[in-house]
Amino acid sequence: MKVRRIVANIETADLAAVARFYREVLGLELLMDHGWIATYGTDGTMPLQVSFASEGGGGTPVPGLSIEVDDVEAVHAAVVRGGYRVEYGPVDEPWGVRRFFVRDPAGTLVNILMHV
């Protein structure tokens, strides 16, 4: 037996607002839409990971999602342009990532990061 994927399921009453955030800010594709659930991602191969944490690092709260990107500054600019509130950072962390936290329209704390 082998796990093929792990998908975080986030409850929201406003699928359209969430779609704008994940499609326009992060550039994810709509992979599935049943009207009551929509899945965003890429068709590329991604490693399967699930993390469990007692804190978010550096004394921050545990984010609901961590999303690695290739240009954290570009995503940060898109977040600011979109009017989303940055809750932490951007900051270079001692463990080798540059990151910031933002809440998506569903209220989920999202850790946007890139390795430096």
CATH of the domain at 41: 3.10.180.10
Distance CA 67, CA 76 (A): 12
69 token code pair = 């990107």
Q: Total structural domains in the chain?
A: 1
Report if residue 6 sits inside a domain.
Answer: no
44 token code pair = 């590329």
> What is the reported pTM?
0.85
Report if residue 111 sits inside a domain.
Answer: yes
- Residue 9's pLDDT is 82
Report if residue 36 sits inside a domain.
Answer: yes
* Domain of 101, in residue numbers: 15-45+55-115
Report if residue 89 sits inside a domain.
Answer: yes
110 token code pair = 């999202």
Q: Which of 16, 21, 14, 19 has its CA nearest to residue 103?
A: 21
Report if residue 9 sits inside a domain.
Answer: no
Which of residues 1 and 34 earns the better pLDDT score? 34
Report if residue 31 sits inside a domain.
Answer: yes
Confidence at 103, pLDDT banded by 50, 70, 90: very high
Q: Kindly state the average pLDDT of the residues 83-97.
A: 96
Flag whether pLDDT at 1 surpasses 70.
Answer: no
Flag whether pLDDT at 3 surpasses 70.
Answer: no
